[in-house]
Structure 1
Amino acid sequence: MSRRISLNARLAHDAVGSDETEVVLLQFTHPETSQIVRLSTDPTERISLEPLVYGTRSSWLDADPTDDEEVFQFVLVSVLLPDDQETAPPAARLAIEGVDNELAEVLRSTLLRADVSLAVVLASSPDVIEQEWLNFKLVSAEGSGESIQLSITRNPLTEEPWPAGRMTRERFPGLHP
């Protein structure tokens, strides 16, 4: 299956030098809270002066680009995008710089795993999704002080129960004459 990307992204990839900037958008949700954390790898525009906040306005995953509370906030993060291996489920790693110990504690203190989605967009067209990966799970958060490393993955298909249920007389009467 071929992947579709926009003409602007293709031109930027083929150019020797380009003014286009690829931006990774991240969205974290958790079943225990209604808060949504949105992060961006690019300081596309200044959102506020006090406090000084930069971010990317995008409508990805139903975010309202006109609402300052729903902006994808810029943080120093390096991202290794999900790989495509035959023997393992897709996995990605994130390294977020400039975090305090409080954030590291929160990320490691929950019992349920957070949901993580990623998208790659161009800074000039943040509503056009070039690539996206949805419904990953946060499996580890390590580090403290200035940096925290996050690992996200999908559940491998081999963990799916099979068969889904027991073939008992009560559940499958047609099998048992």
Structure 2
Amino acid sequence: MPRLVSLNARSAQDATASDEVEVVLIRITHPDLDTTIRLSSDPTERLSLEPLTYGTRSTWQTDDGSPFLFVLLSTVLPDDQEETPPAATLILEVVDKDMAKPLRSTITRATVDFAVVLASDPDVIEAEWLGLELISAEGDSGQITLSISRDPITSEPWPSRRMTRDAFPGLHR
């Protein structure tokens, strides 16, 4: 199925120069986290003065209207290669000594969702990837690199159950 892209995004992509800014929204969830982590790649608007924070307000994946907080990050969005599961990379600049605490607090994988929106209209989703998993987190004092993917379809159990009359009686009427 082809990906639908808004007219504004298509015009910005085709233009030699544009005022439109693509924003990557990231949502990280885990049962051990008290709250969902929402990150934005763009300081779309000032959210507060004390402390000074910027971020993006979007209705994507938010029930309570919480904003996506701006962090210095680079991202490689999930790819569409045929034989491999989608893979993404996030590189976060370490600006606070406590940024790595959530990464060290658990041994199970977190769920990561991505969306691409335009800063001028952050409620229109241009592309999204849901249900990916945080595979690894490596870092030093300067940056943290997060590797994100999903389990390959080849990890499905095989052989699967047989479609016999005893196992699936509704199938054989």
Pair in the same fold by TM > 0.5 = yes
> Where do 5+ consecutive residues of structure 1 fail to align?
none
Counterpart position of 1:151:
147
Q: Percent identity?
A: 60
1:83 aligns with 2:79: yes
Coordinate RMSD, CA, aligned:
2.2
Q: Deviations over 1:27-52 (max 9, x none)?
A: 00002234100000000000000000
Q: Secondary structure at the match of 2:79?
A: coil
Worse-superposed segment, 35-44 or 155-164: 155-164
User: SS at 1:35's partner residue?
Assistant: coil
Q: Distance in 1 between matches of 2:116 and 2:87?
A: 16
**Cα separation, 1, equivalents of 2:112 and 2:70:** 17
1:135 to 2:131 alignment: yes
1:1-177 → structure 2 map (5 Å cutoff): 1-65=1-65, 70-165=66-161, 172=167
Unaligned runs of 5+ in 2: none
**Separation of aligned partners in 2, 1:167 and 1:2:** 33
Q: How many residues align?
A: 169
| Counterpart-to-counterpart distance in 2, 1:148 and 1:44 | 23
1:26–1:76 distance in 2 versus 1, CA, 3 Å = same
AA at the equivalent of 1:120? V
Local SS of the residue matching 2:13? helix
The Cα shift of 1:101 comes to 4.0
Where 2:55 maps in the other structure, the secondary structure is: strand
Contact 1:38 1:73 in 2 (8 A): yes
Tell me, in whole angstroms, the C-alpha distance in 2 between the residues paired with 1:33 and 1:39. Answer: 15
Matched AA of 2:121: S
How far residue 173 of structure 1 moved from its aligned partner, in angstroms, is 9.2
Give the Cα–Cα distance (whole angstroms) in 1 for the partners of residues 95 and 144 of structure 2.
7
Superposition deviation, residue 115 in structure 1: 0.3
Is this contact kept in 2: 1:39–1:72, CA < 8 A?
Answer: yes
Name the structure with the higher helix share.
Answer: 1
CA distance in 2, matches of 1:173, 1:78: 49
Contact 1:42/1:55 (8 A) holds in 2: yes
